[in-house]
Amino acid sequence: MYISSRFKDFILTNLMLYFFAMGVWSLWSYFAFVGLERMDWQGSLVYLPHGIRVLGICFFGLKSLPALMAAELTGPIFINPEQYMGAWSIASIASLVSVILARELVKYSQSNIRGSIVGPINFQNFRLLVLVIILSGLFNSISANLIISYLAPSVNLDPIVIGRFFIGDVLGSLVLILFLSVTFTSLRLNKLASPSGK
């Protein structure tokens, strides 16, 4: 009975996270690639899907990986499959590993560095979440570009692109988390302020 309940939670968590991730992919792609024929890629400066990686891994742990990996592979297909296949698919795995590495590094520092400034190991602590976002953005910008430039020699390793990846991951994550925070706070306040209180 206990195993069945845990399995059900696992499936429901991954389904919920996957559909939410696909919603974010769709929203981001609409704004990012309105001018796809120009290939200006300005949307990468606010890369909302990185926020899904951070939220999934920080709040649900490794059990969120099936949903996140499925979203990483299927999300780009709806945008521009010719651009995102091949090296980009492999780089997306590095993107998830970057978040896991950042999360574990933050947890390790909290356990082993006395007088740490970011508070207890609790990802509801916003400062801790921001630290994971910054570290994962840094790791991802470097690792993803290294993989892409190695597997696709036509793509040059450009410091400007690495910087754009970093800024996009950080800003995109912050925008998504801030939006969710404001939305859920407003819903909670409206519920408390309703006449019925229900």
The correct CATH number of 2-28+43-182 out of 2.60.120, 1.20.1260, 1.10.1740, 1.10.1760 is 1.10.1760
User: Are the C-beta atoms of residues 109 and 116 closer than 8 Å to each other?
Assistant: yes
Query: Residue 66: CB partners within 8 Å, gap ≥ 6?
Result: 14
Residue pLDDT tens, the chain, 198 long? 667 888 888 999 999 999 999 999 888 877 776 544 444 455 578 899 999 999 999 989 899 999 999 998 888 776 666 666 667 778 888 999 999 999 999 888 775 555 444 444 455 667 888 999 999 999 999 998 898 888 877 777 788 889 999 999 999 999 999 998 888 888 777 765 555 555
CB atoms closer than 10 angstroms to residue 54: 26
Query: Residue 92: CB partners within 8 Å, gap ≥ 6?
Result: 69, 72, 73, 76, 144
- Residue spans of the domains in the chain: they are 2-28+43-182
Rounded to 5°, the CA angle 190-194-198 comes to 95
Helix H or strand E encompassing 9: helix 2-32
Grouping H, G, I as helix, E, B as strand and the rest as coil, residue 117 is coil
Whole-structure pTM value:
0.82
